[in-house]
Amino acid sequence: MSWFTLFLLAIIFIGIGVLARKYPTFGWRMNEGWKVKGDSEPSDAYIDSVKFGGLISICLGSIFLVLGMMTILL
């Protein structure tokens, strides 16, 4: 892969991870919230799993960023 592709993947993964960590209920409202009548909120387990997935995404994006820098230097 070229360095540009690795940097692009890093930006995408880090961006998605930051959004998932900051706004964990956004996806729930888009996918599941419309199915429920009245006011309802996602469970704590759902919020924790989305935040964990965001952390994994940030870590994966950081790995792509380091690999992109290594391809430029080598």
Q: What is the pLDDT of residue 74?
A: 83
**Using 50, 70 and 90 to split pLDDT, how confident is the model at 41?**
confident
* pLDDT reported for residue 26: 86
Q: What is the pTM of this model?
A: 0.85
Tell which residue, 70, 73, 59, 74, has the closest CA to residue 6.
70
Average pLDDT over all residues of the chain: 91
Cβ atoms 10, 70 nearer than 8 A:
no
Whether the pLDDT of residue 65 is over 90: the answer is yes
Domain ranges of the chain: 3-73
